[in-house]
A = this chain, B = another copy of it.
């Protein structure tokens, strides 16, 4: 028997939670990772409406679904980002406000603290999300970057998140950064730098999503092994490269799902992530938390895909062993 399998609700924002919960249970999921926003999980009401958490929990219980984590990606993104018009589309109106960047960042940081408080009240100890990055636009060093400034950006992110993490600590909740392009940490090097800048404080860990590593040619199993003590939560998502000399690995400024891109997200098990290897690494580091399917495949029917993904995880994940085999062949 493998780990519990949950469904991340972010890609189903168009469905009411009750509807989605009904489907998830029918499909066989063990629980939901609730995306903050809409009626999936309302941080504000959780803190201000006394019965909200109870009713929300009842709804899940009524469908036999667990909840191990909240997803606070959209608001988290604004904490350290160069805020522009795109953020308006993903932020709650009260966080966006007048859109003045410093104000947006400040309000986003406060909301993240509230998210920790709401999670605690809801009985969840893990909040996943993004950090944003003040230096993403400097990805390719031309005009030549000032690398001292880049080093300082890690410190700047640590500074912005310090007070947020203090609240997480106070509430007994941990944050899991989804290592991802456009975030301060998106690969081995930047994750090391980010964790170091935060003095490796336990409140700040990783929501490990292998799909964001695969198109960078990074090995998710090695990632799990290196950052073993910071793997707090795991997403199951996949990417597929289609490099034929004409499609760029950089994406061509095309929307996800376009044929001419060098890679795209695909339903788990249909891409380049070696999940066999990845799950073995999770076994090795003793990760026993949920495998949370973040389902996204622009070429597949969503309902079909969610079930296909669940079946894939069920048949691929497995429990580790404690037996040394040749030893069993010895005479006792």
- Within 6-55 of A, Cβ neighbours of B (below 8 Å) are at 10-14, 35, 37
The answer to whether B302 touches A321, judged by C-beta atoms less than 8 angstroms apart, is yes
Asked if A201 is at the interface of the complex by the 8 Å CB criterion, the answer is no
Segment among A105-113, A120-128, A141-149 that sits at the interface with chain B: A141-149
> Smallest CB–CB gap between A295 and chain B, Å?
9
Q: From the candidates B137, B217, B242, B304, name the one contacting A248 in the complex (CB within 8 A).
A: B217
Residues of chain A touching chain B, judged by Cβ–Cβ distance below 8 Å, are 1, 10-14, 35, 37, 73-74, 77, 81-82, 85-87, 89-93, 135-147, 150, 180-182, 186-190, 216-219, 222, 225, 242-257, 259-260, 262, 265, 270, 276-277, 280, 283-284, 296-302, 304-305, 308, 318-321, 323-332
User: Nearest-CB distance from A215 to chain B (Å)?
Assistant: 8
Distance in angstroms between the alpha carbons of A277 and B245 in the assembled complex: 13
Q: Which residue of B lies closest to A10 (CB)?
A: B329
Interface contact B323-A298, CB-CB below 8 Å:
yes
- Asked if B257 and A324 make an inter-chain contact with CB atoms under 8 angstroms apart, the answer reads yes
Cross-chain contact B144 with A186 (CB below 8 angstroms):
no
CA–CA, A332 to B38, complex, Å?
9
Give the Cβ gap from A106 to chain B, nearest Cβ, in Å. 18
Contact present for B301 and A186 (CB under 8 Å): no
CA of A218 to CA of B180, assembled, Å: 23
Instruction: Judge whether A89 and B144 touch: CB under 8 Å.
Output: yes
A252-B189 contact given A259-B225, A283-B299, CB 8 Å threshold: yes
7 smallest beta-carbon distances between A and B, as pairs: A219-B245, A137-B137, A187-B248, A86-B143, A189-B252, A301-B319, A144-B326
CB distance from A331 to the nearest CB of B (A): 6
Q: Which of B218, B253, B260, B320 contacts A300 (CB 8 A)?
A: B320
